[in-house]
Amino acid sequence: MNLVLAKNETGRALSDSFAIARDRLPGAGKVAEARSAAFEAYERAGLPHRRIEDWKYTDLRALMREVLPLAPAPDAAALKRAAAAVKLQAIKGARRLVLVDGVFAPKLSELDGLEKGLTVRTLQDVLEAGDAALQAQLLTPDNANPMVALNSAMMTDGVVIEIADGLVLKQPLQVIHVANAATPAAMFTRSLLRLGRDAGLTLVEGYIAADGAEVYQAHDSLIIAIGDNSRLDHVRLVEDSREAINISSSVVTLGAHAHFNTFGMTSGAAVSRYQATIAFAGEHSRVETNGVNLLNGRQHADTTLFMDHAVPHCASREVFRAVADNRAHSVFQGRIVVRPDAQKTDAKMMTRALLLSDDAEADNKPELEIFADDVTCGHGATTGALEESLLFYLRARGLSEKEAQALLIQAFVGEAIESIVNDDLRELAIAATRRWLEARS
């Protein structure tokens, strides 16, 4: 009984919010129809809870309780605070695109001198005036996942990036989401990246909070299409405020002979979920996905990956490391499906969790569904504490307990960080690790 009530209350509050926000949400016609359908789908399901298998470890009814009202568009003061916050993740030489409270901020972004073949538009523009094909692609995520449906209903802004055939960009493209909400609010963003054939890009995504932003919700989704013979390097850093909620989804498809190398690190947010679906649509493609959770306090971070091997001769590697201190809770769900035609698939998944306290928790759920007979698939998982013998060795050499732990934690997450190809980006992840370690001691 209680549960029904909770759902209704949440639903009603959100209905009001949706009705109020509607005028601000971009897109008419088909887009508006899709929004309504998505909203209805979300309302039917409500916030996902632990009795839904996919959300078993991340019960949003308990952890999130409600969807906050849509954040107002940022004013001048907000943009100024956001500009200061961006420095935390700034990398030299990258082209920066900034979203503040879910709205694209042209003044904080670099749109001058775009290379020939690189197009950057806002989600607003595309939904209001863009071509039907792009709109359709932006509306591809289906409503089966309630949080994706909610994002489809409420998406306010984002960036739509297209890389033409043959263009290999040396300069990384960095999308930074800055939350600035002075009062508790939610932002809904959706972005799209289309890489043509023979193209290449390094994409960096970051989630940070401006000074004073504490309680907020970042709801994001990203659609990526990687063309034949193209390569995307992707780094994602979640450093949201420690009272924030970050729910992000991505849908990635790869053409033939394509390569996707992705690294994600979550050290911020009170509650976060990153759900990614990666689908092979062309043969001889490769995906490396690496992730690190660095958690303390009562943080809860969930990474849920779905690797869809639909065609033959593709390879995927998943390396995941979780470090949980205090009462933190790390969740990794890795599902690999090898469909009947996907012979010669080579899929491996390895997760390791390091628990720094008795109350910390790490849940690991591998799911392998293999319908082809000539494949190599494997997974492994370990959970443990820091080894006493290593700690003592370091302490006997002069390192304090915290220093010894820090060195071993850096080494533990190092294997995943090593997967980042670009030196500057690897440094960014190492710096984020260091910030986490410093905040710990």
Partner 1 sequence: MSLLEVKDLKVRVEDNEILHGLTLTVNPGEVHAIMGPNGSGKSTLSHVIAGKPGYEVTDGEILFRGEDLLEMEPDERAAKGVFLAFQYPVEIPGVTTWNFLHTALNAQRKARGQSQLTSPEFLKKVREVAKSLNIPQDMLKRGVNVGFSGGEKKRNEILQMALFEPAVCILDEMDSGLDIDALRIAADGVNALRSPDRAMVVITHYQRLLNYIIPDFVHVMSRGRVVKSGGKELALELEASGYAQFEDAA
Interface residue list for partner 1 (CB under 8 A): 387-390, 392-401, 403-404, 407-408, 410-412, 414-415
Rounded Cα distance between 186 and 245, Å, is: 9
Nearer to partner 1, 32 or 430 (CB): 430
Rounded Cα distance between 97 and 56, Å, is: 35
Nearer to partner 1, 87 or 397 (CB): 397
Nearer to partner 1, 113 or 398 (CB): 398
Nearer to partner 1, 16 or 418 (CB): 418
Q: Cβ of residue 299: shortest distance to partner 1, in angstroms?
A: 23
Nearer to partner 1, 142 or 401 (CB): 401
Nearer to partner 1, 17 or 410 (CB): 410
Q: Cβ of residue 411: shortest distance to partner 1, in angstroms?
A: 3
Nearer to partner 1, 97 or 404 (CB): 404
The sheet that has 259-266: what strands, in order across it?
103-104, 95-100, 173-179, 200-209, 231-239, 259-266, 286-295, 315-324, 346-355, 376-384
Q: Cβ of residue 261: shortest distance to partner 1, in angstroms?
A: 20
Supply the DSSP symbol for 67: P
Q: Cβ of residue 393: shortest distance to partner 1, in angstroms?
A: 5
Nearer to partner 1, 31 or 406 (CB): 406
Which backbone phi and psi does 373 adopt, to 5 degrees? -100, -15
33, 139, 197, 278, 291 from 143: Cα distances, Å: 13, 10, 29, 17, 26
Rounded Cα distance between 410 and 437, Å, is: 9
Which backbone phi and psi does 196 adopt, to 5 degrees? -70, -155
Q: Cβ of residue 392: shortest distance to partner 1, in angstroms?
A: 5
Rounded Cα distance between 251 and 93, Å, is: 27
Q: Cβ of residue 410: shortest distance to partner 1, in angstroms?
A: 7
Nearer to partner 1, 371 or 392 (CB): 392
Work out the end-to-end distance of the chain between its first and last CA atoms, rounded to an integer number of angstroms.
Answer: 44
Rounded Cα distance between 56 and 418, Å, is: 31
Q: Cβ of residue 292: shortest distance to partner 1, in angstroms?
A: 13
Rounded Cα distance between 27 and 35, Å, is: 9
81, 82, 179, 181 from 74: Cα distances, Å: 10, 9, 10, 9
Q: Cβ of residue 301: shortest distance to partner 1, in angstroms?
A: 22
Q: Cβ of residue 437: shortest distance to partner 1, in angstroms?
A: 13
The 3-state secondary structure of 210-237 reads: CCCCCCEEEEEEEEEEECCCCEEEEEEE
Nearer to partner 1, 91 or 391 (CB): 391
Q: Cβ of residue 415: shortest distance to partner 1, in angstroms?
A: 6
Rounded Cα distance between 292 and 332, Å, is: 10
The sheet that has 118-122: what strands, in order across it?
118-122, 159-163, 185-195, 216-226, 245-254, 271-280, 300-309, 329-338, 361-370
Q: For strand 103-104 and strand 95-100, is the pairing parallel, antiparallel, or unpaired? A: antiparallel
Q: Which element (helix H / strand E) includes 6?
A: helix 2-21
